DNA sequence: ATGAAAGCGCTAACAA
DNA sequence: TTGTTAGCGCTTTCAT
């Protein structure tokens, strides 16, 4: 017990072979005799030999690790993306190290450094919403470390080894509003978060453009800036109800705020969707479980994670065949129509 | 551009110092002159020097990494625990590597090996529900790698460097049933998963004992084995309704199955909680958003993660002061009473 | 207060 | 087919 872990040197001694031969045998190098390979492998299992990746990584200059930096690992979205990331990375033999910025720029910066220290071969990032300074990402580029942003991206940045994967927030929002208009809504309000974040800005723009396309009013006061939380939604809805002219639909940029709005409407005896229709964004699990269930937009989170990893690994392995592709992928969102916005029965649905 | 990352050797050359001095200066070793430290640090920042953790880890035999192995990083529970783990580990300067078993014993075994190869200093595991053979964990022990199970644990295993953190599932279930009895329910059914998993077995036992304690029938057919999913819950509820004698309450071992049950009841025009009361387990986010909201048991996931890390780090640093503690921590669950089980108004609540 | 030298475990020229 | 040697970047005795 408590015997030190077996190393290649140990195997070499016990078999009267050189370390290099052991190394080659273990990696199934072609010019090692089958007999030797067998002996080596047998002893390796017997001693429960485990290769030391740190040493191998140091020697080869390839850690086989990817870094992930997210605002937090809670909620629905990030865990799903991380699930996709981990799954896809493992498929290519990469391990994944995870850090959280807690939506804080300082922690983000610090964690980027930690990832670089850990010698990851590439980094996947979704921005903290407080980040305004992007020097830490330029540092990553200076070190020629491939970098892929997902969902919450830095928009100015560009380079051979920087990329981004997002879903088409604009399109998703546009579809939501188009759907609401088709349901007969004419005065559609919008809950949004801070517009310096690409996701909110794009959803907001999609909302505005769709309104215009359908000849609906796009009054400024229909856009409500609120916390993208349950409480934010209730607050936003109260504000809307306090005004002289009520909306007949609310499209919230985040699902949970739509729930807040729904709770206010229920208490006020306002029917959803008949009096006010409701829609959210992200397809959180609970949108299917509320009563009425909430129309939302699915972001295909897992695919986003997988796609981001694929892009990153393309950069890591630096495939010279492929021409320097735009390194920018926009995934299609999917509108999920549920009860909260369905005023007219779908054709043939009933 | 594309300049190789600066190393200690580089700093040494540029400053006409030896690598050892640089190393000491960077780690603020006491017998390096302040003047030298200043020069070194200045150049380090100028060259954007980043220490190579792989090399340091190899040399020191301490990777400063912890391994996490969970069934998956989706849903509510595991992401929250992982959040707690990552947060707590980072506080002590540890990085976290994450793998998913996808509920598969083979992948679990494989990932344990990968974690050992990665030279993590300790491993946190929640068992895949298909795991019946535990040899891979004995391997971890043979390598004297500290191991802490959380939530889904191996019960037979024991040793100086194995531990477990769970919540008191028995107690949580007991409290649910006690509450239902207090609400006047007399025929309480239970949805459960496979009893070889400690969580389901303990919740089931708590259910049974509480029934007995309150003089209620504990008929075998009141325990329904079903998939712990939405569909499993609808299926289980249908089975119960098809029987001659209806229950007046259902306690589901998993929240989502309670939602399934609720949907069936709504469609059947059976009122919740008046006709049949409902309760779940885990305090998933959606339990607060359904209508009626669902009574559940909070597991304090984040605390579980933090506690598990603390225990693990205690083992890693092998504090000899502390007597070999039992390495077994049971956290208290918290019953959250919501509408789905509330037949009588709480005293003073209205 | 600083330097020289060795080595963590592994791999990859280069030799034999 | 196998062995020799050197070195990835860092830390740590031991010496000065």
- B334-336 and B296-298 strand pairing: antiparallel
Please judge whether B113 and A50 are an interchain contact, meaning their C-beta atoms are less than 8 angstroms apart: yes
Chain A's closest residue to B287, CA to CA, is A286
Q: Is pLDDT above 90 for B350?
A: no
The whole-chain average pLDDT of chain B stands at 93
Q: What whole-number distance in Å separates Cα of residue A70 and Cα of residue B99?
A: 17
* Interhelix angle A105-117/A135-142, nearest 10 degrees: 10
Which pLDDT score, from 0 to 100, does residue B317 have?
85
Q: What whole-number distance in Å separates Cα of residue B55 and Cα of residue A280?
A: 48
What residue has its CA nearest to the C1' of D3?
Answer: A18
Q: Contact, B74 vs A83, CB < 8 A? A: yes
Q: What whole-number distance in Å separates Cα of residue B47 and Cα of residue B45?
A: 5
Q: Contact, A126 vs A78, CB < 8 A? A: yes
Which residue, among A5, A27, A73, A141, would best test binding to B if mutated, counting the most B CBs under 10 Å from its CB?
Answer: A73
Please judge whether A143 and B52 are an interchain contact, meaning their C-beta atoms are less than 8 angstroms apart: no
Which pLDDT score, from 0 to 100, does residue A323 have?
53
What residue has its CA nearest to the C1' of D12?
Answer: B20
Which pLDDT score, from 0 to 100, does residue A220 have?
94
**Residues 6+ away with beta carbon under 8 Å from A256:** A228, A229, A230, A233, A280, A284, A286
CA A26 to chain centre: 37
Which pLDDT score, from 0 to 100, does residue A129 have?
87
In chain A, alpha helices (H)? 8-15, 19-26, 34-46, 53-60, 77-91, 105-117, 135-142, 169-182, 198-213, 230-242, 255-267, 301-317
Chain B's closest residue to A90, CA to CA, is B99
Chain B's closest residue to A89, CA to CA, is B99
Which pLDDT score, from 0 to 100, does residue A349 have?
43
Which pLDDT score, from 0 to 100, does residue A3 have?
60
CA of A21 to C1' of C4 (A): 32
Nearest-CA distance B123 → chain A (Å)? 14
Please judge whether A286 and B291 are an interchain contact, meaning their C-beta atoms are less than 8 angstroms apart: no
- Dihedrals φ, ψ of B158, to 5°? -160, 160
Please judge whether B86 and A98 are an interchain contact, meaning their C-beta atoms are less than 8 angstroms apart: yes
Q: What whole-number distance in Å separates Cα of residue B325 and Cα of residue B55?
A: 34
Strand C proximal to B31 Cβ, under 7 A: yes
Please judge whether B58 and A52 are an interchain contact, meaning their C-beta atoms are less than 8 angstroms apart: yes
Please judge whether A54 and B63 are an interchain contact, meaning their C-beta atoms are less than 8 angstroms apart: yes
Residues of A in contact with B72 (CB under 8 A): 83
What residue has its CA nearest to the C1' of D7?
Answer: A59
Please judge whether B118 and A95 are an interchain contact, meaning their C-beta atoms are less than 8 angstroms apart: yes
Give the nucleotide nearest to A27 (CA→C1'): C11
Strand D proximal to B33 Cβ, under 7 A: no
Q: How many other CB atoms sit within 10 Å of the CB of residue A145?
A: 23
Strand C proximal to B24 Cβ, under 7 A: yes
CA of B21 to C1' of C3 (A): 8
Nearest-CA distance A31 → chain B (Å)? 25
Give the nucleotide nearest to B22 (CA→C1'): C2
Residues of A in contact with B97 (CB under 8 A): 65, 95-98
pLDDT band at B347 (very low <50, low <70, confident <90, very high): low
Q: Is pLDDT above 70 for B97?
A: yes
Q: What's the pTM?
A: 0.92
Torsion sign across C-alpha atoms A305, B285, B84, B77: negative
The token pair that represents B200 in the structure block: 């389901």
Chain B's closest residue to A144, CA to CA, is B2
Which residue, among A51, A79, A318, would best test binding to B if mutated, counting the most B CBs under 10 Å from its CB?
Answer: A79
- pLDDT averaged over consecutive 10-residue blocks of chain A (350 residues)? 77 94 95 93 94 97 97 94 97 97 96 97 95 88 89 84 95 98 97 94 98 95 96 98 96 98 97 97 96 97 97 83 71 98 67
Which pLDDT score, from 0 to 100, does residue B331 have?
97
Q: Over the stretch A103-156, which tens digit does the pLDDT of each residue have?
A: 999 999 999 999 999 999 999 999 998 888 998 998 888 778 999 999 999 887
Q: Over the stretch B265-293, which tens digit does the pLDDT of each residue have?
A: 999 999 999 999 999 999 999 999 999 99
Could you tell me how many helices (H) and strands (E) chain B has, helices first? 12, 12
Q: Over the stretch B135-149, which tens digit does the pLDDT of each residue have?
A: 899 888 877 899 999
Q: Over the stretch B217-251, which tens digit does the pLDDT of each residue have?
A: 899 999 999 999 999 999 999 999 999 999 999 99
Q: What whole-number distance in Å separates Cα of residue B82 and Cα of residue B66?
A: 12
Q: Over the stretch B9-58, which tens digit does the pLDDT of each residue have?
A: 999 999 999 999 999 999 999 989 999 999 999 999 999 999 999 999 99
Chain A's closest residue to B64, CA to CA, is A118
Residues of B in contact with A51 (CB under 8 A): 117
Strand C proximal to A184 Cβ, under 7 A: no
Residues of B in contact with A286 (CB under 8 A): 285-286, 289-290
Q: Contact, B87 vs B32, CB < 8 A? A: no
Residues of A in contact with B57 (CB under 8 A): 54
The token pair that represents B165 in the structure block: 């953190």
Nucleotides of chain D within 7 Å of a protein C-beta?
A: 1-13
The one-character DSSP state at A307 is H
């Amino acid at each position: 017990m408590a015997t030190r872990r077996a190393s290649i040197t140990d195997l070499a001694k016990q078999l009267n072979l050189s370390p290099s031969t052991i190394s080659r045998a273990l990696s199934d190098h072609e010019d090692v005799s089958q007999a030797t390979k067998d002996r080596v492998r047998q002893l390796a299992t017997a001693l429960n030999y485990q290769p030391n990746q740190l040493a191998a990584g140091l020697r080869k200059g390839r850690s086989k690790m990817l870094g992930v930096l997210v605002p937090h690992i809670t909620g629905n979205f990030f865990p799903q993306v991380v699930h996709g990331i981990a799954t896809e990375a493992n498929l290519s033999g990469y391990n994944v190290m995870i850090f959280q910025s807690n939506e804080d720029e300082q922690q983000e910066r610090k964690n980027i450094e930690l990832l670089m220290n850990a010698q990851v071969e590439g980094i996947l990032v979704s921005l903290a919403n407080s980040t305004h300074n992007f020097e830490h990402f330029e540092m990553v580029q200076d070190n020629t470390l491939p970098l892929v942003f997902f969902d919450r991206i830095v928009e100015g940045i560009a380079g051979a080894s920087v990329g981004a994967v997002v879903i088409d927030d604009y399109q998703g929002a546009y579809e939501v509003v188009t759907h609401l208009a088709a349901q007969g809504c004419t005065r559609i309000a919008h809950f949004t978060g801070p517009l310096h974040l690409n996701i909110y800005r794009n959803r907001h723009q999609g909302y505005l453009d769709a309104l215009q396309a359908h000849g609906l009013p796009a009054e400024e006061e229909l856009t409500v800036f609120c916390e993208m939380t349950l409480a934010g939604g209730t607050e936003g809805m109260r504000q809307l109800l306090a005004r002289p002219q009520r909306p007949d639909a609310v499209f919230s940029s985040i699902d949970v705020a739509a729930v807040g709005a729904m709770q206010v409407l229920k208490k006020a005896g306002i029917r959803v969707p008949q009096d006010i229709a409701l829609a959210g964004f992200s397809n959180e699990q609970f949108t299917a479980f509320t009563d009425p269930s909430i129309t939302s937009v699915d972001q295909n989170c897992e695919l986003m994670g997988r796609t981001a990893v694929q892009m990153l690994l393309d950069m890591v392995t630096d495939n010279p065949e492929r021409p320097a592709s735009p390194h920018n992928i926009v995934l299609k969102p999917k509108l999920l129509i549920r009860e909260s916005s369905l005023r007219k029965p779908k054709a043939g649905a009933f």
